[in-house]
């Protein structure tokens, strides 16, 4: 039996993947540059190396029957080479090539006639002015690579903001998007098996603060028609991406009730953490099933409503957890701590899920639990 999984990345996503892989009997190795990474603490072995280190990734391939990644910083060129040599890597390196470059993502969606924001390549400030002439203000300037949690974004509200936004992202390859006037941000987790079977999870609403996911409401409080549109878009997108695994697809619900795709993540995702307690098969188990030739599990909710709220760092220094005892006294609350050694402002340190009969009650319960926790 092939039972060895290699994961590029040892953060919280790798940690939760590791828990599920171990439960299913797999031997798990991760690569991460931080000794004692969140995933390294729970899997069988950690290789301490950078996500793009060729020697380390080749070593991981030699220790693995199945390889995957939890971060887009993975070395797509090397993963493609290893795939051609017969290593089972999912999602595919070709998919990673498309998704890690956000401009390629946009071109991919446009080619397939999947609705997304209008966009233009940016090489200089003049290009931004030209885009503003066509699209109007505000605009969203984005880095093509490595821009997660809003770290590669800059909002341009008027001409006077252009120079500052361009300077903020200087030295990076850029593109600009027309601003989308939306009333909700939505997300759909979707999985595809190696055999091509596709399943979608319920549509959720995501609420961001400072461009970082703050909380997730499952299911989204939207009409059945809009939910159907969102899940159909997710399925259509997955039919054109190569490789198996779980993908996070972020969307906008516009003021006109149109659904647009914002960004795709070729991995398990923050907007799917609620599935651990709230769905028949959580996203992490689903990903392990998908990449190891196992059948996909059912995705239905097993509770009426769930709210997931992130626990973000509040300072810089050694992590010290407080309030866990008090928060766990609340019925319907589950808490996940990622056990990162150091905390930073807005660093994801854990998350809380709370379930109840209504979204409003679940939100109040999650917020109450969050008020007790500090790191």
The first and second tokens of residue 182, run together, are 């939306």
Distances (CA, A) of 298 to 199, 221, 283, 352: 8, 22, 10, 23
Distance CA 33, CA 285 (A): 25
Please say whether the beta carbons of 105 and 78 come within 8 A.
Answer: no
The first and second tokens of residue 104, run together, are 């390629």
Distance CA 199, CA 186 (A): 17
- The pTM (predicted TM-score) of the whole model is 0.94
Looking at the fold, whether 218 and 173 belong to one and the same domain comes out as no
**101 part of a folded domain:** no
Distance CA 210, CA 160 (A): 22
- CATH code: domain of residue 267: 3.30.470.20
Looking at the fold, whether 174 and 203 belong to one and the same domain comes out as no
- Pairing of the two strands 342-343 and 317-318: antiparallel
| Torsion sign (Cα): 292, 186, 349, 301 | negative
Give the angle 32-38-39 at the CA atoms, nearest 5°.
Answer: 65
**Can you give the pLDDT of all 375 residues of the chain as single tens digits?**
799 999 999 999 999 999 999 999 999 999 999 999 999 999 999 999 998 899 999 999 999 999 999 988 778 899 999 999 999 999 999 999 899 999 999 999 999 999 999 999 999 999 999 999 999 999 999 999 887 666 788 999 999 999 999 899 988 999 999 999 999 999 999 999 999 999 999 999 999 988 889 999 999 999 999 999 999 999 999 999 888 999 999 999 999 999 999 999 999 999 999 999 999 999 999 999 999 999 999 999 999 999 999 999 988 989 899 999 999 999 999 999 999 999 999 999 999 999 999 999 999 999 999 999 998
**276 part of a folded domain:** yes
The first and second tokens of residue 129, run together, are 């002015």
Last-in-domain residue among 51, 72, 89: 89
Give the angle 115-116-121 at the CA atoms, nearest 5°.
Answer: 135
Looking at the fold, whether 338 and 195 belong to one and the same domain comes out as yes
Distance CA 323, CA 21 (A): 30
């Amino acid at each position: 039996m092939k039972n060895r999984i290699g994961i590029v990345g040892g953060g919280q996503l790798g940690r939760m993947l590791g828990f599920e892989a171990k439960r299913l009997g797999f031997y798990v190795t991760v690569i991460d540059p931080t000794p004692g990474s969140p995933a390294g603490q729970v899997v069988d072995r950690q290789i301490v190396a950078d996500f793009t280190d060729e020697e380390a990734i080749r070593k991981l391939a030699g220790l693995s029957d199945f390889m995957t990644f939890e971060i887009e910083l993975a070395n797509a060129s090397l993963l493609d080479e290893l795939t051609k040599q017969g290593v089972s890597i999912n999602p595919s390196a070709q998919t990673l090539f498309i998704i890690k470059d956000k401009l390629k993502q946009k071109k991919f969606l446009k080619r397939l006639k999947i609705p997304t924001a209008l966009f233009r390549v940016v090489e200089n400030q003049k290009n931004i002015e030209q885009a503003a002439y066509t699209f109007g203000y505000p605009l969203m300037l984005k880095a093509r690579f490595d821009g997660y949690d809003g770290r590669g974004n800059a909002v341009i509200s008027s001409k006077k903001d252009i120079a500052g936004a361009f300077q903020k992202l200087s030295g990076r390859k850029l593109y600009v998007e027309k601003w989308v006037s939306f009333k909700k941000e939505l997300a759909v987790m979707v999985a595809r098996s190696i055999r091509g079977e596709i399943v979608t999870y319920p549509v959720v609403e995501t609420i961001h603060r400072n461009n970082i996911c703050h909380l997730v409401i499952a299911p989204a409080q939207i009409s059945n028609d809009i939910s159907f549109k969102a899940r159909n878009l997710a399925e259509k997108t997955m039919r054109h991406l190569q490789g198996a695994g779980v993908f996070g697809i972020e969307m906008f619900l516009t003021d006109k009730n149109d659904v647009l795709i914002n960004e795709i993540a070729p991995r398990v995702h923050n907007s799917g953490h609620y599935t651990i307690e709230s769905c028949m098969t959580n996203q992490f188990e689903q990903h392990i099933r998908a990449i190891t030739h196992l059948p996909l599990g059912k995705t239905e909710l097993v509770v009426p409503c769930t709210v997931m709220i992130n626990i973000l760092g509040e300072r810089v220094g050694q992590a010290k957890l407080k309030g866990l005892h008090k928060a766990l006294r609340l019925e319907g609350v589950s808490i996940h701590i990622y056990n990162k050694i150091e905390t930073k402002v807005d660093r994801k340190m854990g998350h809380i899920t709370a379930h109840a009969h209504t979204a409003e009650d679940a939100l109040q319960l999650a917020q109450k639990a969050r008020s007790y926790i500090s790191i």
